Amino acid sequence: MRLTPRPDAPDDLASLRAEIDRIDAEMHALLIQRGTIIDRLIAAKRTSASGSAFRPGREASMMRRVAERHRGLLPLDTVEGIWRVIIATFTWVQAPFQVHADVSGGDAPMRDSARFHFGFTVPYRPHPTCAAVIEAVAASRGDLGIFRLGAAVSGTAWWEGLVGAGRPKVIARLPFIERPTHPAGTPVLVVANPLDDPAAAQRDWVLHATRVEVWTEEGTRALQDLYGEVVARAEGGEGPRLLLAVPGGVGPRQLREALERAGAGPSSLDEIGSHAARFRV
């Protein structure tokens, strides 16, 4: 006799749905528990040295662990987005901040990046120029600014607004987890006022603003020999102005000497921040 499959019994469906409800309740309870720990963290900071709530190195490590342990049918996009909203929102709870975005290259990709990485609780403020973003961050107590990589290659050297003690500095590059199909894959740099705790920074990659009289293939090769890259370039009357990224183990003296040997000796070389290494899946 041939048996035909029968649909799941109602009792089986009910038990599965009950299991989902139980898991949902547990996840919510864990978020509430996380909130109580944040309350204690805020209280501890008020009784000790206060500092910025941003911990770029810790955030990058958390996102790397999320990607490494993820499995199952739930897309990584969803999991990453959930964790980013949790991290950003609890950071905002500790010390409210806004995200200022340069939208000179278009608002949509910047808004997508801001909403994916910081959620909807954190206010989003678009600005017409990079300079306006930098000044908004500089005038704030703890806001962030985001800039689309490559958007200023033929424009102004916006990164020079980060030069100098007390000026905003790069603290992250987003997305932390890179892949070709990322829903908010526009590469952006994040800037903030100098972190109170230098140990909170992640120095896998260090960024330098530099000016040179001429930039040739020899300069490019010298930079590549240090495993570095030109992140952005702007042309000026006195020669190219470059934003360079080199591994954290490459010091400014080593970088300057390599460029001088290549005939691209910089007239200025200033560190303007750092970020975690990109994690690709």
**pLDDT greater than 90 at residue 97:** yes
17: in domain: no
Q: What is the pLDDT of residue 47?
A: 60
Tell the residue number behind the tokens 């608002």, with chain if given: 107
Residues 140 and 235 in one domain: no
CA distance 220 to 235: 16
Q: What is the pLDDT of residue 153?
A: 46
46: in domain: no
Average pLDDT score over the chain: 90
Q: What is the pLDDT of residue 258?
A: 96
Of 200, 235, 262, the last residue of a domain is 200
Of 158, 184, 200, the last residue of a domain is 200
**CB atoms < 10 A from the CB of 155, how many?**
14
CA distance 254 to 78: 42
**pLDDT greater than 60 at residue 281:** yes
CA distance 101 to 123: 11
> Quick one: tokens of 51?
């500092």
Sign of the Cα torsion 148, 154, 159, 161 reads negative
Q: What is the pLDDT of residue 239?
A: 87
Q: What is the pLDDT of residue 164?
A: 96
Residues 218 and 88 in one domain: no
Q: What is the pLDDT of residue 200?
A: 82
Residues 108 and 164 in one domain: yes
Residues 82 and 151 in one domain: yes
Q: What is the pLDDT of residue 149?
A: 86
Q: HEC states along 212-275? A: ECCCCHHHHHHHHHCCCEEEEEEEECCEEEEEEEEECCCCHHHHHHHHHHCCCCEEEEEEEEEE
Q: What is the pLDDT of residue 201?
A: 85
CA distance 202 to 57: 5
For the stretch 125-149, pLDDT in tens is 999 999 999 999 999 989 999 999 8
pLDDT band, very low/low/confident/very high, at 7 (cuts 50, 70, 90)? low
Q: What is the pLDDT of residue 275?
A: 96
Region 16-35 average pLDDT: 96
Residues 62 and 118 in one domain: yes
Structural domain boundaries, residue 233: 205-280
CA–centroid distance for 231 within its chain? 15
Tell the residue number behind the tokens 């306006």, with chain if given: 132
41: in domain: no
For the stretch 191-208, pLDDT in tens is 999 988 777 889 999 999
* CA proximity to 137, closest of 218, 213, 54: 54
| Lowest-pLDDT range of 4-8, 145-149, 171-175 | 4-8
Residues 129 and 154 in one domain: yes
- Residue 171 near residue 125, CB atoms below 8 Å: no
> Quick one: tokens of 191?
């800037």
| Lowest-pLDDT range of 21-25, 112-116, 179-183, 253-257 | 179-183
pLDDT band, very low/low/confident/very high, at 5 (cuts 50, 70, 90)? low
